[in-house]
Amino acid sequence: MKRCYYLIIFFILLSCGSDQTKPTNSKVKPNDSSVTAILPLGQIENRQILLLSRELTSFYGMKILVLPKKQMPESCLLKNTERYDASAMLQWLKKQKPTHCDRILGITTYDVYTQKGKYPHWGVFGLGYNPGEACIVSDHRLKQFANRRDTFLTLVTLHEIGHNLGLPHCDKHASCLMNDAKGTAKTLFAEKKWLCSNCRKLLQKS
């Protein structure tokens, strides 16, 4: 009898533990009918484009249109390097967006940078308008994390699209994917494919 009593307490504790702060992969915007165009750039693999299409649909509920692959625009290239200006890329990407699409996501294998404080060419994983219609994600700095490469690429993509949807950076929960990576992978190791309740609330309002 006593044992049964303990079991009941155990089950009550278990059900209390499954609150809304537990990371989950359920769709955060299940009724989103918007369309995101994906533009593959450089040597990005079809396998990665397929993965990101699937992840965006499953996470945000949005539709995906994959555009034919393009070369990186020379107008955004930093002289005598193989690095590209991410802000200039966003402006260029906006012009590549089909009119019937709500936003465009460029995915590249090349290194992209942006101005950060006193650093004019700070390397980043990605950049996106907040809110807006364009974002860029680079695989260049993620290649070194062989077995986590695709996971990190997914996190960065969901993060940049989150900006496009109006989400700012978040410091409410270390696992929330809207944390600012600040150009290092340290944050990515802590993040999950998950938005904290504060970010979810902001998203529902947008």
Please give the radius of gyration of the chain, using alpha carbons only, rounded to the nearest integer.
Answer: 19
> How near is the Cβ of 90 to Zn ion at its closest, in Å?
13
Nearest to 160 by CA among 184, 189, 182, 131: 131
Binding mask 172-191 for Zn ion (x = CB under 5 A): x---x-x-------------
CA–CA separation, 178 and 201 (whole Å): 13
Q: Does 196 bind Zn ion (CB under 5 A)?
A: yes
**Of 37, 86, 199, 202, which one interacts with Zn ion (CB under 5 A)?**
199
CA 75 to chain centre: 25
3-state secondary structure 32-87: CCCEEEEEEECCCCHHHHHHHHHHHHHHHCCEEEECCCECCCHHHECCCCCEEEHH
> How near is the Cβ of 100 to Zn ion at its closest, in Å?
27
State the number of binding residues for Zn ion (CB under 5 A): 6
> How near is the Cβ of 84 to Zn ion at its closest, in Å?
18
Query: 111 or 191, CB closer to Zn ion?
Result: 191
Cβ neighbours of residue 3 under 8 Å, at least 6 residues apart? none
Residue number, nearest CB to Zn ion: 170
Is residue 99 helix, strand or coil? coil
Q: Distances in Å between the alpha carbon of 61 and those of 87, 116, 136? A: 27, 32, 20
> How near is the Cβ of 28 to Zn ion at its closest, in Å?
11
The interface with Zn ion within residues 114-173 (CB under 5 A) comprises 170, 172
- Binding-site ranges for Zn ion (CB under 5 A): 170, 172, 176, 178, 196, 199
